[in-house]
Structure 1
């Protein structure tokens, strides 16, 4: 049987990529299957050598029917994910438009502004949290000092320990540290838009808002959709910001799924129960990603047909 040059090329590519695929499968598939196995047992840190007994879906049912599940779900989905991602996308778009504006170019501030935008992004999350905890400190923090000196408040505010301010404080830290990536990505997408389109629209009498709505925004939507998906998945699974800022407190007021996984595994020592929460998170994100891609896939198809 004679193999065509095209088939030979495909086989060569396949055999060259096979080792990489095997490494990725071993690196991701084995921990995933092992975690799934643990989620059906009652294993704890004290019984690692002995192993746990099979308990079926008990861990899942206990978590989904627990009294804390509703609060944890709201904290994770609404406060940590929906609010912070929305704020980041909007601010990132505004920053991108500003950095691409003719005003900054005329003032020769484009380079400086872009460098300033990159500073928060270049700051490690741990450092960012520590810096913001100092800024928000009720005793030594400069934010409280400024608010007191300006007369806006009469007593210091414990931003990370007060129920009314703790989530805005966490979201502020996340937004400050991660928005630059979105801004830079949207700026790169902005610079791919043909300038002729806006010039032609301006000649036809289109306003700035109409140019943004009908030219700029449609060009940016593919980038925005990808950034939104990545931000949702990354934020939904994030542990660092909440734990380092509040330790899931005050009490368990800011407890989210990622911190619940940690506390059940390393404080309550319930590895099996913690694994069940982790699997639940993975299933939720897999479902969200599938629906997200399906929606945008259908949208793209409708656009092509139209």
Structure 2
């Protein structure tokens, strides 16, 4: 009983701080989402409108397009490609050839450069590179791939692939290095036993490497969902949700409604919908981590 009381006493300040720093803003945002509060009328406050903001949101003709951009392009596409490319790089760095040539350490250092680059800086760099008179267009024209410059971030056919490419350049290195760490924990005896059984390289990857990597890939995948789903920086700085509203996502819609249309109540409703979705992913992530910890103790 005393031990439980002591633990509770020690944890209480942390719980109070968490409630103050996280609980209160969420509660306040929820309260605002039921009002028509405007950025121009902060002093007088907002009138209670109940679920009107939520009804307007779910009846909006733009919601389908915004959700498609958020779930398919910003989240699913970037997360899947991030994991696949990261896995490929990790496997390459873990090959015997890379170890014999002593290129693994140099490659790991090179990977740290894009990962350590702040997203704002990464977007600015790639905006210059992807301009009509930028280095990418110049290289493509010289190689004969295209005969005229492409407006990568202004053309609807290329804007989303370009945005995803920018995100991947900035975030894949962390995935690759994390998976490389997991690869290096696989005992060599497993590969030797597989070779004695006549396993091909594909069979060794499928039945030895992949089972060891799956727990890390699942956790990294869910973390990537968190990074991508509510991401604002890449989309806003690269395209401003354009051309038009073609690349508009939930995070940029919150900004547009709050600071362009001055509708804080409506933007808070969008924010709460995002919070519920992220909360569901958070529960899934915690359950996955708890299950992995349980398996490690058995």
TM-score normalised by length of structure 1: 0.91
User: Which segment drifts farther, 260-269 or 227-236?
Assistant: 227-236
Whole-Å separation in 2 of the counterparts to 1:248 and 1:67: 17
Whole-Å separation in 1 of the counterparts to 2:286 and 2:32: 30
Q: Which residue of 1 aligns with 2:143?
A: 150
State whether structure 2 residue 94 is matched by structure 1 residue 91.
no
* Deviation for aligned residue 1:184: 1.1
1:12-91 to 2 correspondence within 5 Å?
12-91=6-85
State whether structure 2 residue 99 is matched by structure 1 residue 113.
no
Whole-Å separation in 2 of the counterparts to 1:291 and 1:111: 35
Q: Which residue of 2 aligns with 1:3?
A: none
* Deviation for aligned residue 1:9: 4.2
Distance 1:211 1:8, change over 3 A: farther
1:262-273 to 2 correspondence within 5 Å?
262-273=255-266
1:281-296 to 2 correspondence within 5 Å?
281-290=274-283
* Deviation for aligned residue 1:285: 2.1
* Deviation for aligned residue 1:186: 0.8
Task: Look up the SS of the partner of 2:270 in the other structure.
Answer: helix
Per-residue CA distance 1:73-126 (angstroms, 9 max, x = gap): 000000111000100000111111111111100111111010011111000000
Give the alignment's Cα RMSD to 1 decimal: 1.9
1:194-233 to 2 correspondence within 5 Å?
194-233=187-226
Say how many residue pairs are matched: 294
State whether structure 2 residue 89 is matched by structure 1 residue 122.
no
* Deviation for aligned residue 1:297: 8.8
Q: Which runs of 5 or more residues in structure 2 are unaligned?
A: none
* Deviation for aligned residue 1:148: 1.3
Q: Which residue of 2 aligns with 1:4?
A: none
Distance 1:121 1:298, change over 3 A: closer
> Runs of 4 or more off by more than 6 Å in structure 1?
297-300
State whether structure 2 residue 247 is matched by structure 1 residue 254.
yes
Whole-Å separation in 2 of the counterparts to 1:36 and 1:268: 19
Per-residue CA distance 1:9-41 (angstroms, 9 max, x = gap): 444333223212221121110000000000000
Per-residue CA distance 1:126-150 (angstroms, 9 max, x = gap): 00000000110102x1111111122
User: Which segment drifts farther, 228-237 or 12-21?
Assistant: 12-21
TM-score normalised by length of structure 2: 0.94
Residues 219, 289 of structure 2: 8 Å contact kept: no
Residues 226, 278 of structure 2: 8 Å contact kept: yes
Whole-Å separation in 1 of the counterparts to 2:79 and 2:167: 9
User: Which segment drifts farther, 191-200 or 169-178?
Assistant: 191-200
* Deviation for aligned residue 1:208: 1.4
Q: Which runs of 5 or more residues in structure 1 are unaligned?
A: 1-6
Given the alignment, which residue of 175, 188, 191 partners 1:182? Answer: 175
Task: Look up the SS of the partner of 1:230 in the other structure.
Answer: helix
Per-residue CA distance 1:258-282 (angstroms, 9 max, x = gap): 0000000000000000000000011
Whole-Å separation in 2 of the counterparts to 1:225 and 1:35: 31
